[in-house]
Chain A
């Protein structure tokens, strides 16, 4: 074995370096150096994104277990950037009384999940894939329960870890069937033996259920609302965007690399889950009063829209999906950052009624929230419109006209509940609105990055073209 190969995995090496530096710093720093911890983490994360983006090489390692190409590296950079946004958002929370002493743990756990996701993306062997998924899930459970003194957080952690383990077990069961029918765990070998036999369909459904939990598609979504609501807001944001993004991407890769011969079977399965996810989540979201819970259902329905890009199994779907993930990431992170800011101001959970009259006291924050919600709803000229349009286009070109129509009708429903929040902020009267306040500086940086993304990603087409030029490599 040639150990120098390890250095080809530049994103992972960069991540490992950041990981180790932060770990050492956590051990040795004390006193006022402690205050530099957060800026250091942010700078290192930025450097990590830059290093990841600079990598463009295509290669496989370990006898084909690990693959890297421009698309995968780009996706890793997206995930790293999302983590950077989450770290920025965490500043005030990490400075608070209960979390201050375990600040280091937050970074370490966060980066551990990121390592897991990197391996999920690059894995071309089911065992490596499984290890990646586990590595991405377990630390996340710790993060969800990070505020362990809060009853909700601990409960959310338990719910997350139990469903996560359950889904992993199902996935492992599915993988074992796949191994039994194909005799290999390498993607490249397996695809030659996939015929769509009943046992393989069963295996696929099990595997899909496992990943469906991570993506939180209906009917595997039941943990989502409670975990999202209970987890610290930063972690919720991370969970709803980065963890979901990695799982969707992985699913797409497995579908086209392994299950390609049984495309008709898996398209049927995904068809049903899309319709169920979008419709049920949209209807449930209308009834939610807690914003984080509301965002949980919104994210389930958004996952349904992302799956529209997957169902065609084509290269333009890959482009549309990655673009959607990027746009969804900036918009969703912006919403959660606003929620977190308000939470710190009112010292409690944010309800829809809390937002009443917010515009009169905090116009800028409200405007950011409005832009982000409009982007999530798919209103032009914001980026969400473009990403939704492209997703619809890719599904339509694959021949799923009726599905696109159902999804389109659902966008109207989703617009309704996004507008409910806009209505609360601008129109509803409130005797005691949230007083005017200034956001944490790190959150402000995050919001600026997100708003720039929301406005520019759609109008400047080069991001899409860039993704498109590398998606054919898959």
Chain B
């Protein structure tokens, strides 16, 4: 029994258990038990993985296993993890775990909500553990479609519109992606869909790479909020319920970055080298434009959604630099942004649940009314603008140092441009913090509000601890992902 399979089996069992659950109590019990189990599993996996690496295991993938699935088509159920996927699994299970508590009091149709939520998380876990193109694509799409119902039924605002826009844009992306996957498979002439074997063959003709690299990269890039395909993201995040925003910004958008790195660039290295400049320009626009858009927004969720566009753009920006430091920074940024943005969305959801507005012009002096949430918000904000001691600093530093170390004018110029986002981030974060948290409360209704409940405190504390831990002790992550990044990069840089 491969331990990785549990990441799919546990959600499957949870789905069945949720289907059979009769009341709210049972639903919550199933969710808490399942997500705790998954969290424990991923922590165990991380520890075990690091100890195996330090014991000298140098194989690119550990815990590998493969079962033939559709034999005539060479489709296998191949699983295996390297450091990057382990880090992503850990991130996912933290977010799923805290998301469960963030939607503790969600109504109505709690059971159905958690059914789709679990299906979504199953897709995410499956994507990160699989190493077969078909299986990856299957899990990728499995993770996308529950979003439609989660946003459309349980969301707020223009939820139907946003849900449809998000689903169609992401599915459009996956149409591109499917073309890319078929091109990779048939182009390599491989007798397997296993990505490591295709990468080892490395025989896709250059002219095919030039066609299928952009398709694959854009396919994943849509989910990674690549400019100009990011427009689903602000609407989708703004209308989604709290835990879905958390999961979506925290984990799902990372699927895009991970896929770009693991499939598009890894399997089509020559085109990645030759065409990277196009996407570097696009991601630079994402980084700066996302941050600038966030300044002009007045809705808390929109601010954070545009901030996500900016930060996820930075992930894609970093991997396209193709230096070891920058790519390590990209993975760190994925982790850091995943945790920070989940914290942000959780807090916004909690504040919105009390004030029933997300408009920053209508809130004032929340620090006096709900100190716990306000302090949490300040911490999230400071982490987001890259204060040393929190995860954001480490990640952005690594990215920019890595990017600037590429020795040519083009890369250095775009790095400088992208660096301006740090300043802009500070502007929109401090503006919000100053506006809604400080000063005297103006709205009489707001003065009657209460501070966080136990489940909300638990969510916030968990995430703050993770953000701080990543910021204070980033070295263990570098140990974890070092070999993985090195292996992928050595295939890209000939």
Contact = CB atoms under 8 A, between A and B. Distances in A.
Contacts of A389: 134, 137, 178
A48 B139 CA distance: 38
Contacts of B153: 426-427
Contact of B152 (A412, A426, A465): A426
B73 A390 contact: yes
A468 B186 contact: no
Interface in A423-474: 423, 426-427, 461, 464-465, 468
Contact of A465 (B72, B171, B172, B178): B72
Given A380-B138, A464-B70, A464-B72, 19 more contacts: A316-B72, A316-B73, A379-B141, A380-B139, A390-B73, A393-B182, A397-B186, A401-B182, A408-B175, A412-B171, A412-B172, A412-B175, A415-B167, A415-B171, A416-B164, A419-B148, A426-B152, A427-B159, A427-B160
B164 A419 contact: yes
B247 interface: no
Interface string A22-35: 00000000000000
B12 to A, nearest CB: 10
Interface in B131-181: 134, 137-139, 141-142, 145, 148-149, 152-153, 159-160, 164, 167-168, 171-172, 175-176, 178-179
B175 A385 contact: no
B160 A380 contact: no
A385 B186 contact: no
A392 B185 CA distance: 13
Contacts of B183: 401
A463 to B, nearest CB: 10
B408 interface: no
The winner among B138, B164, B175 for most chain A CB atoms within 10 A is B175
A351 B51 CA distance: 61
Given A385-B141, A411-B171, A465-B71, A392 B152 contact: no
B69 interface: yes
A20 interface: no
Contacts of A379: 141-142, 145
Interface of A: 316, 319, 374, 379-381, 385, 389-390, 392-393, 396-397, 401, 404-405, 408-409, 411-412, 415-416, 419, 422-423, 426-427, 461, 464-465, 468
Interface in B67-97: 69-73
Contacts, number: 74
Interface in B235-281: none
B367 to A, nearest CB: 37
A39 B167 CA distance: 44
A408 B179 contact: yes
Contacts of B139: 380
Contacts of B141: 379-380, 385
Contact of B149 (A381, A390, A422, A461): A422
Contacts of A316: 72-73
The winner among A390, A416, A427 for most chain B CB atoms within 10 A is A427
A386 to B, nearest CB: 8
A162 B206 CA distance: 55
A423 B149 CA distance: 8
Nearest to B212: A401
B220 to A, nearest CB: 15
A281 B183 CA distance: 27
The winner among B72, B134, B153, B159 for most chain A CB atoms within 10 A is B72
Contacts of A374: 145
B383 to A, nearest CB: 35
A461 B69 contact: yes
A3 B78 CA distance: 55
Range for the number of chain B residues in contact with chain A: 20 to 34
Q: Is the interface of B mostly helix, strand, loop or mixed?
A: helix
Contacts of A392: 178, 182
Given A411-B175, A426-B153, A465 B70 contact: yes
Nearest to A415: B171
A419 B152 CA distance: 11
Nearest to B143: A380
B138 A401 contact: no
A140 B85 CA distance: 56
A381 B138 contact: yes
Contacts of A465: 70-72
A36 B73 CA distance: 47
Contacts of B159: 427
22 contacts: A379-B145, A380-B142, A381-B138, A381-B142, A385-B141, A389-B134, A393-B73, A393-B182, A401-B182, A401-B183, A404-B182, A408-B175, A408-B176, A411-B175, A415-B167, A415-B168, A419-B164, A419-B167, A422-B149, A426-B152, A465-B70, A465-B71
A380 B137 CA distance: 9
A447 B186 CA distance: 38
B118 to A, nearest CB: 13
Contacts of B168: 412, 415-416
Contacts of B152: 423, 426-427
Contacts of B171: 411-412, 415
A468 B179 contact: no
Nearest to B109: A359
A363 B37 CA distance: 30
B283 to A, nearest CB: 24
A175 to B, nearest CB: 35
Contact of B160 (A385, A404, A408, A423): A423
Nearest to B170: A412
A404 B185 CA distance: 15
A412 B152 CA distance: 18
The winner among B70, B142, B168, B172 for most chain A CB atoms within 10 A is B70
A408 B171 CA distance: 10
B175 A409 contact: yes
Contacts of A409: 172, 175
Contact of A401 (B134, B164, B179): B179
A443 B185 CA distance: 42
Nearest to B122: A381
A425 to B, nearest CB: 10
A461 B134 CA distance: 14
Interface string B448-468: 000000000000000000000
Contacts of B73: 316, 390, 393
The winner among A374, A380, A422, A465 for most chain B CB atoms within 10 A is A380
A464 B141 CA distance: 21
